[in-house]
């Protein structure tokens, strides 16, 4: 049993994107320095610190991180919704999903989400963070219940691929954070984002 009691959660690294905005495979980027783990390995290890099992969800290219189960997306080219749907079906239980492009995400923030999830209201299918000032839902840093699977299947059937809209608001359990607390949610999509991340790291 995991020390923090989160053994019933399967950690899922979402790594199925094409990195088209970055121009090259961002899972192999070493944001924290060449001697540090790349983004994919960093994210796997981060989830490993709060979950007893970690899988990598990606398209038809086997991830380079060794020692983790590879879950191939059932549908491709439609964003992360396919990865979450496939992972729920494989896990047959709740999953903690985390995008692989968040170099400042940390175990404390993930544990805060897990603790919040443990006190979710009955009927909750999606536990996540919400940005106080904007109302933005962090759908790529979330816990999805297995019971949400039919909603994912219906969304795909309907051609609706926006992850944050799959679960109705009344079945979401949202933990607020402020803009001053937003650094862990900084994601690296473009070369300019990568440059900014490296500048932040150099200044810390």
The pLDDT tens digits for 44-57 are: 999 999 998 999 99
Q: Residues annotated in the binding site for Mg(2+), as ranges?
A: 101
Which of these CATH numbers, 1.10.10.10, 3.40.50.720, 3.40.980.10, 3.90.550.10, describes 10-203? 3.90.550.10
pLDDT 10s digits, 114-136: 999 999 999 999 999 999 999 99
Annotated domain spans of the chain: 10-203
Residue 153: the pLDDT is 96
Residue-level pLDDT at 199 = 92
Higher pLDDT, 23 or 9: 9
> Residues 57, 14: contact at Cβ < 8 Å?
yes
* Beta carbons of 32 and 42 less than 8 angstroms apart: yes
Average pLDDT over residues 66-92: 90
Q: 191 falls in which pLDDT band (50, 70, 90)?
A: confident
Burial class (CB in 10 A: 0-12, 13-18, 19+), 122: exposed
**CA gap 127, 186 in Å, rounded:** 19
Instruction: Inform me whether the pLDDT recorded for 11 exceeds 90.
Output: yes
Model pLDDT, residue 17 = 61
Q: What is the pLDDT of residue 2?
A: 34
Q: Which residues are annotated as a binding site?
A: 14-16, 26, 73, 101
Query: What pLDDT is attached to residue 19?
Result: 52
Look at residues 144, 18, 4, 169 and name the one whose alpha carbon lies nearest to residue 86: 144
Q: What pTM was computed for the model?
A: 0.89
Yes or no: say if 49 and 107 are a contact pair by the CB < 8 Å rule.
yes
Phi, psi of 21 (to 5 degrees): -75, -30
Summarize the confidence of residues 99-128 as an average pLDDT: 96
What are the binding residues for GTP? 14-16, 26, 73, 101
What is the bridge-based pairing of β-strands 10-14 and 95-99? Answer: parallel
């Amino acid at each position: 049993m995991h020390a923090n009691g989160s053994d019933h959660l399967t950690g899922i690294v979402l790594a199925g994107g094409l990195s088209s905005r970055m121009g090259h495979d961002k899972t192999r980027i070493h944001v924290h320095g060449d001697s540090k783990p790349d983004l994919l390995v960093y994210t796997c290890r981060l989830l490993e610190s709060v979950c007893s099992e970690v899988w990598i969800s990606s398209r038809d290219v086997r991830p380079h991180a060794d020692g983790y189960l590879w879950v191939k997306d059932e549908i491709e080219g439609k964003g992360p919704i396919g990865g979450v749907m496939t992972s729920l079906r494989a896990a047959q239980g709740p999953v903690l999903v985390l995008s692989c492009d968040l170099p400042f995400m940390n175990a404390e923030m993930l544990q805060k989400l897990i603790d919040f999830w443990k006190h979710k209201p009955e009927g909750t299918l999606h536990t996540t963070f919400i940005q106080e000032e904007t109302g933005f839902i962090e759908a790529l840093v979330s816990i999805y219940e297995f019971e949400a699977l039919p909603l994912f299947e219906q969304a795909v059937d309907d051609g609706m691929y926006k992850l944050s809209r799959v679960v109705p608001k009344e079945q979401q359990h949202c933990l607020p954070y402020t803009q001053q607390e937003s650094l862990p949610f900084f994601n690296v999509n473009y070369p300019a984002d990568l440059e900014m991340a490296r500048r932040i790291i150099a200044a810390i």
